[in-house]
Structure 1
Amino acid sequence: MDKFIRLADAVTEFEADYNDTAQTDHTKYTLAIQQDELKAIWRKVKTAYEELVHSDRLDATGVATVKPKYKSSYAVYLRCMSNMAELHAKLVKNDNDVEDMSAREHNIQLPSCDTDVFKGDYLSWPTFRDMFTAIYIRNKRLTPVEKLFHLNQKTEGEAREIVSKCHLTNDGFQTAWKNLSDRYENKRILVNTQLKILFNLEAVENECGSSIKKLQRDINNCISSLQCHQIDISNWDAIITYLCSTKLPETTLALWEQTIENKTEISKWVDMNKFLSQRFQTLETVSDIRGSKNYPTTLPHNSNNHMESQQKRLKPFQASVPKAICTFCKSNEHKLSSCQEFFNLATADRISFLKNNNSCLNCLSSGHVVSRCKSSFNCRICHLRHHTLLHSQTVPPKATFPTSNSFSTDDIASSSAQAQARRDSTNTNNVQACFVNTSKGVLLGTARVNIFFKNNNFTVRALIDSGSEASFITESLKRKINLPSKRMRAQV
């Protein structure tokens, strides 16, 4: 009797604990665990009741006392299970709605993905192998004979001959794929090919950004390929840095040596790779400003061969200087800063055009971003780091914006020295800043806030800061109440 009463009371206590927990603290996973726990308790109650009723220990009065207790416990069990089931279904529905909304937002039509035709090249075999496996072999809707048909269509030359020897049947695909893999899955040849590229790099004769970038890219491609073939190159820094140093022009090599702090230690390829990135970006910037792509290295010469070098240089030649081309209208008569069509655009459209063409928002040149811009000119209206043509009209202008078609970059941009002189010439009031140094703390008040959103109640804790100019919400609370949001750039 006592055992049955304790188990029946456990069901009532379980429901009380469930009702005391806020709905926002429940998830579909915790509800599933709680449902299993309540079912286990009820099975024990039912077993104890049946043993008690069918035993000879109870008389008619005891049976009349036990049955109402059992019925009331069963009603509590049903009510609690029903509440948990409804909340579980609501949480599952909310998750499905979020997934459907995310799928609708990202439902874009992507171009078809397919592999190139394999012509029997060892270097292209790894790419063909992985692409054909992902697109055709792992496609469960294709039968083996269909896979063999596509394999015939995607091979040429010697590879096509190997595949065509197998009959176009379901059993023929595995044989054809195995024969093709055995023929071209030659790790030794693949590694040797990458080593041949690494040890036969083309030397860079001139201080040219594109040539240095190509040298860096070839070395990194070889390193990536060797790592894909499980070749341990963690101790190859001395070899790689030496090979790269022998291919660099004299000025770049001297600059690299100047960046080495400890001349007695072996240089790391990570450091040299970072230096090469900065070097070719600098050369590209200089080339864009000067309008020249290649700068020949100036080699030192002594007095003995000075006359000989002069005689060799005194030869007729013709220089071709490229004209500045407007990136917006493709005209070679003016620059982008003097383009009337570009000036007629709205400020937001100008910024969008420059970002899409990988152009600098400060000097309007292509090939770098504003964080790497070497120009000392800023906006002559607000003196911030952007071009005057990109100045937002929401800020009160400090100077008249040019309306003529004959303005240039020099007329629009202003140097930092000019900006400082202009600021010095304006009348300003002296402002004295003071602060108090105290060890006393400040206690801010909080409040419990009930949020009602999409038929759901959420109880959260709010911090009351009367001096704040904006309101904020935590990322976890935003996800919990499924609040719609959008990304934006703002200064806090």
Structure 2
Amino acid sequence: MEDLKKKVAARGYVKGTMTRLFNFVNIANLDDISINDLCTKRDRLNVAFKEYEALCKDILGLDSADEEDVESVEDNYFKTLSAFDKRIKPLDSNPSGSSTYEKTHKTKLPPISIKPFEGTYTEYVPFINLFNSLIHNDKSLDNIQKFYYLRTLLKGEPFDLVKNLPVEALSYDAALNLLKNRYENKYRIISEHICKLLDLKQIVKSTAVSLREFISTVRQQIAAIKYQEPNVIYWDAILLCILSRKLDSYTAKAYQLDQDMNAKPQLEDFLNYIENRANALENVEQGHQPHPGNSSSKVAAVATTGATCTYCKSYEHKLFNCKKFQLLPANDRYTFAKEKKVCMICLGQHGGKCRFHFRCSECKKPHNTLLHCNLSETPPAVTLSSNVDNNVLLPTAKIKVVARDGTQYIIKALLDSGSQVSFITTKVVQLLGLTPLQSDTCIIGITNEKSNIKYCIPIEIHSLNSPFKTTVTCHVLKDVTCKLPQNKFDVSRVIIPPNIILADDQFNVPSEINMLLGADVFFQTLLPNEQRMTISLPSHSNQSSAVPRSAAHPPQQPSSTQLHVFNTYFGHIVGGNLPPKCFRRRLGRFNRLC
């Protein structure tokens, strides 16, 4: 009711404005009024009538029994407008009397466009401020028109927030509130601006262009952070420590030599120093431009602009920063460095002794870490086995992994105590949206066969039956193994004790194996059994039972067809020999793929 009273009062005020203009054209002598005044009053009349219509619509939405005489107000509006036009048109056609009007109302300006908002937190404040200035504060537009403009300027997730709102006046304020609640997140906005400062690329060589780009980026982010009004009492010292590390060594050293070490650090002093240095470099570079007719200058220019990266011929970085070179296997990097005769320490090309004293972080020898090879080291071994005569059930467990966007997936893993390393399939890595790391690892299998694995990735795995979680470095393969078990077998006659929680409740159903957990994970997940559990599966009878064994009753000679149950953080895993009669069809030979 309070909102209705306000809108009725606002309509009365607008209606009074229109009445005064109506009385003005009926009483005043319009011939004595300048064309500028007439045009201003006519424009005010149009704006007032649009406001009147909008208020009438809003009031009808709140009170359907509203008795406003809209027809009489509309008649007075058209009469007043006609009187203004009748006086303005003759003056408009008179060149001597219309110069000011034409200059004011006929000049066409380029249209103002607003960049659509796509959901980036740091872009919300500039977008909404510009939208408010150009559209929200425009009194000539009603709320339906403003809502239409707002919808056209939203893309992606922001548009999804408002697309289901009905196209009516009340939806405009609702849409603004939805956007404000979703994207006016001061903590997130400040964090993203700080991250942009932290992620600034280090200046390799100080030039006027690189320094000005550095200053521009810093000032933009600082201004955006200040707009959010955070507590910035002590931030100068912190930012100076971060930003000074982004400078090249020569500029950073010059800045430190120029500062008073006893003075309080000021961010603005730092930026002013960099800006003055950029001005100096710009003036020097302009004064040393090569003369068009000087051949020696041309040679110097070619030498200066030559490619600095020996591998990809890029002008933007050196060999040790080349991403393509870093992705090469270690052996290929070493071979390339030998062929191109680059320095084994700094990866540059120079004569004489290298002025750097780097040591490899892997072996501590005097060479660059990128050139370290594992050829002399013994690679990890993967013990693989298969029994042709027996049908062996390998232990499996269902585990939870979390994608980059927070989505949770349940995959089946094989627990292999005979493997020194763990594996994961390319399919799961792509599903999780993760980026593998470069790895040059040699894997030894049965018959001493070697396989090179180029990628690995750390994966956090979670148990479905306990709070247990751990991070495993998995080597990435297209396939880990075939489906396990290879054939479905009947467990309807197997009695599982009620206190057992299976790590894989479908251990008898052939399933895709997307991860292999090696001995490093297998043994850290084992838990002590209160009593030894076995599931006997006689080969020549239809009887089967789960037999707990305690210390008081030591186990008898184990049967050749017996499943063993082990307790782990993932739950109880099952493995061992199976009789052929358990299968719906005979098992084929087990082939393990790596």
TM-score computed with the length of structure 1 as normaliser: 0.38
**Comparing both structures, which one devotes a greater share of its residues to strand?**
2
**Comparing both structures, which one devotes a greater share of its residues to helix?**
1
TM-score computed with the length of structure 2 as normaliser: 0.32
